[in-house]
Structure 1
Amino acid sequence: MEPLSNYLKNSQKITENNERIYEEVVNHPKMQAFMHEHEGEITRSMIQNDLMILKHYINQKNECEPTENGKCKSHPDGYIFNLEIRQGRFNMVYKKCPVRKKYEEFLKRESLIQSFHIPRDVREATFETIYLNDDRREILENAIGRAAKIARGEDYRGLYIYGEFGIGKSYILGCIANELKEKSISSMMIYVPEILRDLKAGFNDGSSNARYEAIRNAEVLILDDLGAEDVTAWSRDEVITSILNYRMVEQLPTFISSNFAIDELKGRYSYTKTNGREETKALRMIERIRALCEEVKLTGDNLRQS
C-alpha cells in the first residue's frame, strides 16, 4: 500500500499541475476570445472539468502548412476543431482543414476525367498549353465555345475533328476534357481500338457489360481515333453504333476524332470479312455521328515529326 505521505505529495503535484494548465488556458488569446464571445456562460469549474480539451484547443495551430503530397503538416489528420458549449461542457466540433478540403476538391476534379489507353500528355492537355497557329485558332475557339455551352446545358452536340495523322486532334480532345473538368463536368475519354479489344477480352471475366454501360452513359463521351480499329460487324453494330444511338436518343454530349472525314467512313465501315458489304449499317452509324457532332477539319504539320 502506498504511504499516505506519498499520496498527499502526488495529489499536491496534480493540483499544482492542473492550476498551471488552468492559468495557461484562461490567459491564452484564443481562450480569451472564446470567453469574451460567451461572457456569462463559462465558470471556473467548467474550465477545470475540460482542461485537456481546452489545452488541445489552444495548442492547435491556426495556420495550415501543406506538404508535397497534398496533406497538412499542421493538422496531419486533416481536421481542425472549434469549441462549443453544450449542457455546461466544452465540446470539440471538427471540420476539414483548408488544405485537406482543397486536396479533396482536387481529387474530385481529377476523378471527373476517366480515360482508357490515353497518353499522359493528352490527359493533361489544356487550352493554355496548346500550340496555337492560324490553322488551329478557329477549331480551338469552337471547342472552347462547345465546352461552355455543354457546361451551361445549352447544347449537347460535340465536335467530330478529323485530319491527317499527328496534327494534334487527340490533344484538342484532351483540352476539351480538362476544360469541362474545370466546369465540374465529368467525361470519359477512350482510345477506340484498345477499348474494343478490352470489351472483347472482357467476355471471359464478365466485365464487358459494366464497361459498356459506363461508356454508353458517360456524362460526356470522347472517342479518340475512330476508324483506326479493325472493322467487324460486332464492333460496328453492337458496340459503336449501339453506343452512338443511345447517346443520340438521350442527347448526351459526344466528341470524336478520326483520320477520316465522316463521308469517308461509309467505305471504311461498309465491308466486313464475315458479312461482306453492308452499306445500310454503315450509313446508320454515320447518321448518328452527324446527329451528335459538328464536323470540323484540322489542318497543319505533323507535330510528332517536328
Structure 2
Amino acid sequence: MESLGEVLKSWPPGGGMNAQADKLMSELLADPLVRQFRAKHPELDNRDIKINLNRVYQYVKEQSHCAACPGIERCPNDFEGHYTVLECETLNGSVQLYDRKAPCAKLTARQTEQSIRTRVRSFYVDESSLHRGFSADDIMNTDPERMLAVGRLFSYIKTTKERGLQQKGLYLVGHFGTGKTFLMCYMLHELAKAGLSGVIVYMPEFVEDLKAMLDQPSRIRETVELMKETDLLVFDDIGAENLNPWVRDHVMGTILNYRMNRKPTFYTSNHDLEALERHFSFTNKDGDEAHKGQRVMDRIRPFVEKVWVNGNNKRGR
C-alpha cells in the first residue's frame, strides 16, 4: 500500500480529486480495523475521520503490513519494527485523534535476544552452542539417559530465578559428548533472561592463551576481574588443560578465592572431583604438589553439587 502522499499525487486535478477522496474515505470507513476502532470510540464521526485521514490511512496501511509480516529485516513500515497505533480522547467536547508508533513483537524479541547476548561472554566456546535456544522439551527429549541431569539443571535455573544467585554451582561430570557444555550454555542463556551476567571459558585453550599473555599484565588483569565479578562463571572441560603452577595458583586460585561464598561457579569435566584433585596436584614444572592441588579443591568441592551426565556421544552427529 502506498503512502497517502503518493496516492494524492496520482489523483486527477479538479472535481476528480474530490471523487477519489470520497472513494478513499469510503474504503477506510469500510475497513474492519476502522470499524473496530470506531466501535470502541462511538464519539468519532465521519468528519473526525476525514480531518485525520492521513493518520487513519497510515494506521490501516501499517496494520495491513504487520498482518502479512515479511520479517523484521524486510519491514515495509516507515519505522522498522514499529506500527501506527490510534488513540482517541475528548477534550472540552472536541474529539481528538492521536497516533503513535509502537514496537512490534518481533522487534521486542530481537531486542531481548540482543540484550541477552550482551550479558553472556564466551572464551573459546562455540557461539552457536551458547545461543541455539533449544526449548526445554527438546533438551529433555534429546537423550533419555541424561534426563536426571537435565531435571536437576532445570530445578537449579528455577530456584535461581525465584531466589537469586545460589551459593553453590554445579559440577557436570560425564563421558565425552554427552552434552555437558550445551547444558551449561542453556543455563547461561536462560538466566541471562532474568538479568544475570555469565561467562563460559573453554579451559584447554584459555590456559594456553594465558601463557601467551604473560607480557600483557593489564589484559590478564582485565580477564581475571571479569571472571571474578560475573554472576555466573563456567569452567568448561576443566581437567583437560595443560596446567602450570602460575595458572593454578595465581589465576585459578585468585578467581576461585574471590568467588567462593559470593557467586556460584560451574564446571564441566570428564573427571570426577578426586581425579581433578590429582590433576591440580601435578604440573610438568614442579611435579607432585598434593597440598597445592588440595588448596584449589578446597575452593571447588564445598561449593558445587556434582551432577553425573549420562548419555550417548553426540559429537559428529
In structure 2, the residue matched to 1:284 is 295
Match of 1:52 among 51, 54, 60: 54
2:228 paired residue among 213, 216, 230:
216
My pick for the range that moved more, 74-83 or 273-282, is 273-282
Q: C-alpha separation between the residues in 1 aligned to 2:27 and 2:69?
A: 29
Match of 1:61 among 56, 63, 70: 63
| Counterpart AA for 2:182 | G
The answer to which of 113-122 and 228-237 deviates more is 113-122
The answer for the alignment partner of 2:152 in structure 1 is 142
In the superposition, the TM-score normalised over structure 1's length comes to: 0.74
Inter-partner Cα distance in structure 2 for 1:83 and 1:298: 54
TM-score, length of structure 2 as denominator length: 0.72
Q: 2-side partners of 1:217 and 1:85: how far apart?
A: 49
Q: CA deviation at 1:108?
A: 4.5
Once residues 256 and 148 of structure 2 are traced to their aligned partners in structure 1, the CA distance between those partners, rounded to angstroms, is 26
Deviation per CA, 1:255-280: give whole Å up to 9, x if none. Answer: 21223332333443234466666544
CA offsets 1:195-229 (integer angstroms, 9 cap, x no match): 23344555649544443333222322221111222
Deviates more, 1:285-294 or 1:80-89: 80-89
Distance in 2, matches of 1:102 and 1:305, equals 32
Give the one of 102, 105, 110 matched to 1:98. 105
Aligned Cα root-mean-square deviation (Å):
3.7
Q: Is the 8 A contact 1:173 1:255 kept in 2?
A: no
C-alpha distance in structure 1 between counterparts of 2:202 and 2:59, whole Å: 52
Look up the match of 1:263.
274
Report the residue type matching 2:260 in the other structure: M
- Measured after TM superposition, the shift of residue 72 of structure 1 is 6.5
**Corresponding residue number in structure 1 for 2:248:** 236
Letter in 2 for 1:190: V
- Classify 1:28/1:51 alpha carbon distance in 2 versus 1 (closer, same or farther; 3 Å): same
In structure 2, the partner of 1:5 is none
The Cα of 1:248 is off from its aligned counterpart by 0.9
Deviations 1:86-118 (A, max 9, x none): 776532222122333344444445666543322
The SS at the match of 1:249 is coil
> Which has the greater radius of gyration?
1
- Shift in Å at residue 177 of structure 1? 3.3
CA contact (8 A) 2:184 2:234 kept: no
What secondary structure, in the 3-state scheme, does the structure 1 residue paired with 2:144 have? coil
Task: Give the distance between the partners of 2:49 and 2:177, measured in 1 at CA.
Answer: 70
CA deviation after TM superposition for structure 1 residue 289, in Å: 0.3
- Deviation, 1:287, is 0.5
Alignment-derived partner of residue 131 in structure 1: 143
Which letter maps to 1:233? P
Identity %: 22
Aligned to 1:175: 183
Amino acid at match of 2:241: E
By how many angstroms is 1:83 displaced?
A: 1.0
In 2, the alpha carbon distance for the partners of 1:222 and 1:25 equals 57
5+ unaligned residues in a row in structure 2: which ranges? 1-11
SS in 1 for 2:154: helix
Q: How many residues align?
A: 290
Residues 28, 290 of structure 1: alpha-carbon distance in 2 compared, 3 angstrom cutoff: same
Q: Which runs of 5+ in 1 are unaligned?
A: 1-8
Task: Kindly indicate whether the alpha-carbon contact (under 8 Å) linking 1:64 and 1:99 is maintained by their aligned counterparts in 2.
Answer: no
Q: 2:56 and 2:261 mapped to 1: Cα distance?
A: 61
Q: State yes or no: 1:194 paired with 2:202.
A: no
Corresponding residue number in structure 1 for 2:8: none
Quick one: distance in 2 between partners of 1:206 and 1:122?
A: 30
Matched residues in 2 for 1:70 and 1:96: separation? Answer: 11
Q: Distance between the aligned counterparts of 2:313 and 2:219, measured in 1?
A: 37
Q: Distance in 2 between matches of 1:83 and 1:297?
A: 56
